A and B are shown apart, each in its own frame.
Chain A
């Protein structure tokens, strides 16, 4: 095909020589990663050695310490730009911004995991995952104090993988990170205490389709390596793709994008999303919807900016088309949903499309404002998403969370505050001014229009209007409908969920009303590579 055997040998030699040099390793630069990986490892040890009755608080403390430590480390590292670990990891503004976002959203998700006062069953997580669902033992454990506390190290590993994903400067590391973040998520999805079969079905679907997507990524990696001779993003860029006769790397890039889009739940690679969002324990759904999205888009941005930034023609048409499909699928199919979590899943698919308009704003060589726009959007969207799922955990009936839309009727009468908070998040997701969602949409649409993609933006705006219908449908139900006789009750949240709601509500408002500081931060941080 493309490269001749002679060239291949030459490349092989260079690689071999490089491999002999001892890799440089900047420990300072990777402290955020060390914090979370460390916390995850400590969590495994706690699981092995700590007595069962203290495990829960200790695990929560370890996981929070790890994620918040990583957040602080990212802040302290601000301004650092280096490439370390044998060119495999990049420490740069955009990477740190995204890592901080993941760590912060991860800490909020951990708080949702830790909520124990809402469910009479004491936790959203199963007491013992190994007990078959529906067995006598399972019913016995339904209200047990015990919790499968492995969820905390698993979540921490996933967060670590996500942070590594956005820092990976090398396709192989990117693949390793993809697996590190995915495997714990497959497990977490199956750990719900209630409706266990639904949860296990979700886990299996996620796993099978995820494995498929990983294979796509790997195949793409192989093709790109085969045609450019390197897995390092900088080398791929240097190899140059100006020659439009080389189809191999373009096919490879396409396959890489498919793998990444799957994780970002972009249509047409979204089919797992509604089932998994619905079946997973709601704190896990919040975690996946917020953090995985940030991580996957972080990787997409880095790949397209660093490796293929000079050859925009290779990916622009593809991303353009996928963005349109994703926005329309998310907006239109969301209309027909009757379950809050499925509806939010389609909302997440539509938002993935909006994020791709920001990706298109990267411009040739990353000269556009797309990177900072997408980073801000990810932050704003992640915060509202964690918040919206936190509200979903509050509305319950005798069987756990009441997620059917009809059960939300008249909620404002029962609990005006909960309904008001939910409305704020829904307005933010719909992109109404004075919420973070509006500023986010504004930035990504501006970036896209600057790159001449105004037809895409018009489609995006129409999709926003369609999607607004289902957000409004929920507001109508909560405020304008009469409550059902045996409707759900609104649980009184414990401290962890209260903290999450307070943080997400205030951040959604602050980012909507006075976004200046964060926008400037994103603008300054918007740089990939050393």
Chain B
């Protein structure tokens, strides 16, 4: 089965599915969502199959395919995954069906048919798979930019009251970053042209280039800006609260859970191996931004009155941890950061969905409108609590392992930054527990007191949405080893690319982490 074109099928299937769903006649919404669920489950199966076919001890890039695409530029349609990309594909595979079920009964207030929404979801899935699976920088760029279009329509057509503003802001921020990256992509091509005799975009060839440090710095900044906006890193984050708050719940889960990971993935895949000298020179600055982000976003999260904006600020704080792990240049730190990317997708996804279920009952995003929901809907309160605990990295949940790895991996190389970042853990506990306390506990207040009938407990569909993610929160909290086995070799290879000490002792630490 290793010859099976896993990655191509994982891109083509949702793309075709999206076209079919979009072409369905109006009024066939039930068929549209059924078809979407079927396709997204098939992608999940494919992702699982690809993981089985992937040999953890084998080459760095596996399941590779390559076809010439634009020969006069030397562009190949080249796909392949390393362990890092593979776990992201698994995350996509899990989150998309969950999102489809979560959006099952969504309506857009009679504005338009929901089949457009499901069609865009599938197109988005195809683009997300492509962005992680591309091993040609040009192809990566194409997916990176093309990914904006479906998300733009998801936010703009199906989002909240300020969706127009949010959609345009999202698109423009990302586009600006992408265009600056384009300059660097072209620059990289020109460098390869002068060094290798013919221009190439193949990641493996570009990695071998010996680039002058000053040129590296310029090229690095181009990539960095795009990824820092995408991640988003303080101070490039202002688009995320708007987009996350206005996006429909399903789109928001994918936005925060997967799309933003492209930024941190890009740091690891492109910024570090291609421009190691520049990465080392800039690391203190980036770490400063990361740590500011951790503290600043956590403080802002506490001050939010809007549920969805609160979750997006928690995400910005978490991205600070991921960036810390990446730019600490240690294998534990890097492995922790990648695991954090997966865990954050799961725990924030769950948090977003739980909040979505609350908003579906109350009809408003204002925190002050809720209080004492736990008495009416104890299961909902439980789901929100688990999501929150995972988000604050309580031992026993998935996030604990990754956060611990990041901190322990960063401390030897960057003690000062790590110490400051640790304050973020305390703040995380504050914003999560305050949220749970204000909305779920205490006497019934606000809407809950006025119209208690609306706050019924989770129905079967909502349980189906929450169950797999809760299982992953606990499962990966107790036994993260399978993911670590996938991630570790790829991170070691990345760290050896930048000439950092690859001799990490990850297994010992993970045992310590998993033992809790």
Chain A interface residues (CB < 8 Å from chain B): 413, 427, 430, 432-434, 438-439, 441-442, 445-446, 449-450, 454, 457-458, 461-462, 464-465, 468-469, 472-473, 476, 479-481, 514-516, 519-520, 523
B142 and chain A: residue at smallest CB distance = A433
Chain B hits for A454, CB < 8 A: 183, 187, 218
**Smallest CB separation, A279 vs chain B (Å):** 30
- Asked, given contacts A433-B141, A442-B186, A449-B187, whether A479 binds B180 with beta carbons under 8 Å apart, the answer is no
Instruction: Please state if B156 and A480 are interface contacts (CB–CB under 8 Å).
Output: yes
A433-B142, A450-B190 known; A473 vs B179 contact (CB < 8 Å)? no
Residues of A within 8 A of B459 (CB): none
B171: contacting residue among A413, A472, A515, A519, CB under 8 A = A472
23 interchain pairs, CB-CB under 8 A: A413-B112, A427-B149, A438-B142, A438-B145, A442-B73, A445-B182, A446-B190, A450-B193, A454-B187, A454-B218, A457-B186, A458-B183, A461-B179, A464-B175, A465-B176, A472-B171, A479-B153, A481-B164, A514-B70, A516-B69, A519-B70, A519-B72, A519-B73
CB neighbours of B149 from chain A (8 A): 427, 432
* CB nearest to A435 among chain B residues: B146
Interface contact B183-A449, CB-CB below 8 Å: yes
Knowing A449-B183, A516-B70, A516-B72 are in contact, say whether A480-B163 is a contact too (CB < 8 A): yes
In angstroms, Cα B148 to Cα A462, docked, is 18
Q: Are A434 and B172 in contact (CB under 8 A)?
A: no
A-B pairs, top 9 by smallest CB distance, nearest first, are A461-B179, A433-B142, A465-B176, A519-B72, A480-B156, A433-B145, A480-B164, A446-B186, A516-B70
Complex: how many Å from CA A465 to CA B168?
12
Per-position contact with A for B185-219: 1 when CB-CB < 8 Å, else 0? 01101100100000000000000000000000010
- The reply to whether B167 and A480 form a contact with Cβ atoms under 8 Å apart is yes
CB atoms of A516 and B71 under 8 A apart: yes
Residues on B with beta carbons closer than 8 Å to the beta carbon of A450: 190, 193
Nearest-Cβ distance from residue B292 to partner chain A, whole angstroms: 25
For B52-74 the 0/1 string (1 means CB < 8 A from A) is 00000000000000000111110
Q: Which residues of A contact B190 (CB under 8 A)?
A: 446, 449-450
Q: Which of B316-349 contact A (CB under 8 A)?
A: none
B510 at the interface (CB under 8 A from A): no
Residues on B with C-beta less than 8 A from A473 are: 168
In angstroms, Cα B187 to Cα A427, docked, is 24
What are the residues of chain A within 8 A of B36 when measuring CB–CB?
Answer: none
A480 to chain B, nearest CB (A): 5
Q: Which of B60-116 contact A (CB under 8 A)?
A: 69-73, 112
Note all chain A residues with C-beta closer than 8 A to B391: none
Interface flag for B157 (CB, 8 Å): yes
Residues of B with C-beta under 8 A to A445: 182-183, 186
Contact string against A for B residues 113-153, beta-carbon threshold 8 Å, 1 for contact and 0 otherwise = 00000000000000000000000000001110110110001
Question: Are B180 and A446 within 8 A (Cβ)?
Answer: no
Distance in angstroms between the alpha carbons of A301 and B331 in the assembled complex: 53
Question: Nearest chain-B residue to A439 (Cβ)?
Answer: B70
Given known contacts A434-B146, A446-B189, A479-B156, is B175 in contact with A468 (CB within 8 Å)? yes
Which residues in B have their C-beta under 8 angstroms from that of A434? Answer: 142, 146
Query: Most chain-B CB neighbours within 10 Å: which of A433, A462, A465, A520?
Result: A433
- Alpha-carbon distance A373/B219, docked complex (angstroms): 22
B172 A469 Cβ-Cβ under 8 A: yes
Which residues does chain B contribute within 8 Å of A481, judged by CB atoms? 164
A417, B458: Cα distance in complex, Å: 40
In whole angstroms, how far apart are the Cα atoms of A515 and B153 in the complex? Answer: 26
CB distance from B73 to the nearest CB of A (A): 7
The chain B residue sitting closest to A463, CB to CB, is B179
Chain A residues positioned under 8 Å from B141 (CB to CB): 433
Contact residue among A432, A465, A520 (Cβ-Cβ distance under 8 Å from B146): A432
- With both beta carbons as reference points, the residue of chain B lying nearest to A376 in the complex is identified as B72
Determine the distance from Cα of A473 to Cα of B187 in the docked complex, in whole angstroms. 31
Q: Which of B69, B73, B157 contacts A480 (CB 8 A)?
A: B157
Contact of A457 with B183 at beta-carbon distance under 8 Å, contacts A427-B149, A516-B69, A519-B70 already known: yes
Residue numbers in B under 8 Å from A520 (CB-CB): 71-72
Interface centre among A427, A430, A476 (most CB of B within 10 A): A476
State whether B176 touches A433 (Cβ < 8 A): no
Q: Which residue of A lies closest to B215 (CB)?
A: A454
**Of B73, B163, B179, which contacts A464 at CB under 8 A?**
B179
Among B112, B172, B182, B187: residue with most chain A CB under 10 A: B182
Do residues B172 and A465 form an inter-chain contact, with CB atoms below 8 A?
yes
Query: What residues on B are CB-neighbors of A472 within 8 Å?
Result: 168, 171-172
A331 to B268, CA, bound (A): 34
CA distance A468 to B178 in the complex (A): 12
Q: Please give the distance in Å from B14's CB to the nearest CB on chain A.
A: 16
| Residues B167 and A476 in contact, CB atoms below 8 Å apart | yes
Known: A427-B149, A479-B157. 10 other contacts (CB 8 A): A432-B146, A433-B141, A433-B146, A442-B73, A461-B180, A461-B183, A465-B172, A468-B175, A472-B171, A476-B168
Q: Which B residues touch A480, using CB under 8 A? A: 156-157, 163-164, 167
Residues of A within 8 A of B218 (CB): 454
Q: From the candidates B72, B145, B180, name the one contacting A458 in the complex (CB within 8 A).
A: B180
Assess A442 versus B171: contact at CB under 8 Å? Given A433-B146, A480-B156: no
Task: Give Cα A468 to B174, complex, Å.
Answer: 11
CB distance from B33 to the nearest CB of A (A): 20
Q: What is the CA–CA distance of A32 and B311 in the complex, to the nearest angstrom?
A: 65
**Which residue of A has the minimal Cβ distance to B176?**
A465
A464 to B141, CA, bound (A): 16
A469 touches B142 (CB 8 A): no
Q: Provide the residues of chain B in CB contact with A516, threshold 8 Å.
A: 69-72
- Residues of B contacting A449 in the complex (Cβ-Cβ under 8 angstroms): 183, 186-187, 190
User: What residues on A are CB-neighbors of B148 within 8 Å?
Assistant: 432
Report the minimum CB–CB distance from A41 to chain B (whole Å): 40
Give the chain A neighbours of B153 by CB distance below 8 A. 479
Q: How far is the CA of A469 from the CA of B149 in the complex (A)?
A: 14
Bound-state CA distance A433–B146 (Å) is 6
Complex Cα distance A457/B182, Å?
A: 10
A438 to B70, CA, bound (A): 13
- A345 to B: closest C-beta gap in Å: 22
Chain B residues with Cβ below 8 Å from A446 are: 73, 186, 189-190
Query: Once the chains are docked, how many angstroms separate the CA of A462 from the CA of B146?
Result: 18
Q: Given contacts A434-B146, A472-B168, A480-B156, are A461 and B72 in contact (CB under 8 A)?
A: no
Q: Which residue of B lies closest to A512 (CB)?
A: B142
Contacts of B69 in A (CB 8 A): 514, 516
Q: Which of B153, B163, B167, B175 has the most CB of A within 10 A?
A: B175
B residues in contact with A442, CB < 8 Å: 73, 182, 186
Taken together as a complex, chains A and B put the C-alpha atoms of A72 and B190 apart, in Å, by 36
